A = this chain, B = another copy of it.
Amino acid sequence: MSNELLTSLAIFTLAILVGFEVISKVPATLHTPLMSGANSIHGIVLVGAMIIAAEADNPVSYTLAFVAMVFGAMNVVGGYVVTDRMLQMFRKKPTAAKAGTEGASSAPGA
Q: A-side interface residues toward B, CB under 8 Å?
A: 7, 10-11, 14-15, 17-18, 21-22, 24
Contact = CB atoms under 8 A, between A and B. Distances in A.
Contact of A11 (B10, B21, B22, B24): B10
Task: Give the one of A11, A21, A22 with max B CB within 10 A.
Answer: A21
Q: 4 smallest A-B Cβ distances: which pairs?
A: A21-B21, A14-B14, A7-B7, A17-B18
Contacts of A17: 18
A104 to B, nearest CB: 38
Nearest to A24: B24
B18 A7 contact: no
Contacts of A18: 14, 17-18, 21
A35 to B, nearest CB: 19
Nearest to A13: B14
Nearest to A20: B21
Contacts of A7: 7, 11
